[in-house]
Structure 1
Amino acid sequence: MALYKVSRTDGCRYDEYDAIVVRATSEKAALEIATMGDERRYGDDVEWDAQFSGFERDGSNLKAEMILSAGPAGLILGSFNAG
């Protein structure tokens, strides 16, 4: 496994993450961790509640960069812009 820094490719507002560091087996797995969240239904409306606010569900505003290291998969660091 390796460490991956997943960061935004667009601007960042208050109360959103601009980057996280995760341990994963691949760039794809790192992006899957970064885009985790819950789908919530309110009648006919569907809302996506991202675990890391500001990260698009499809990963379209993210890039992943590998940082070599050993250890189990999971979040290492989150960078959050409080407002």
Structure 2
Amino acid sequence: MALYLVSRTDRHDYDEYDAIVVRAGDEATALKIATNGTEHERTDGSKRWDSDFEGFERDGSNLTVERLESRGPAGRVLASFNAG
């Protein structure tokens, strides 16, 4: 397993994620984790997608995945704050 940085490629707004770090076996699995969510059926029969990470597109079209080196000095990996 490795660490992967999944980042937005578009503009983000308040109360949205712009990046996450996940542990996965490969880039495809990292992207799958980042685009996970739940589909809900509304009373009118239409469907709504609730992403686990607000702002990440379901199809991953606004995301990039980068494998992070596991070696290096101790320190912060990611601090991404976009509160509204």
Fold match by TM threshold 0.5: yes
Partners in 2 of 1:42 and 1:18 — Cα distance? 28
Task: Specify every segment of 5 or more residues in structure 1 that has no aligned partner in the other structure, as ranges.
Answer: 70-75
Q: 1:3 matched to which residue of 2?
A: 3
Task: Specify every segment of 5 or more residues in structure 2 that has no aligned partner in the other structure, as ranges.
Answer: 71-76
Q: Which has the higher strand share?
A: 1
* Structure (1 or 2) with the larger CA radius of gyration: 2
Counterpart residue identity of residue 39, structure 2: E
Partners in 2 of 1:53 and 1:20 — Cα distance? 11
Q: 1:66 matched to which residue of 2?
A: 67
Q: For this pair of structures, how many residues does the alignment match?
A: 77
Deviation for aligned residue 1:77: 6.0
TM-score, L = length of structure 1:
0.85
Q: 1:73 matched to which residue of 2?
A: none
State, as a whole percentage, how many aligned pairs show the same letter.
Answer: 62
Identify the structure with bigger relative contact order (alpha carbons < 8 Å, sequence gap 6+): 1
Give the SS at the match of 2:80. strand
Deviation string, structure 1 residues 36-64 (Cα, Å, up to 9, x no partner): 10001013110000000000000000000
Q: 1:16 matched to which residue of 2?
A: 16
Q: How well do the aligned residues superpose, as a CA RMSD in angstroms? A: 1.7
Change (3 A) 1:80 1:40: farther
Give the SS at the match of 1:81. coil
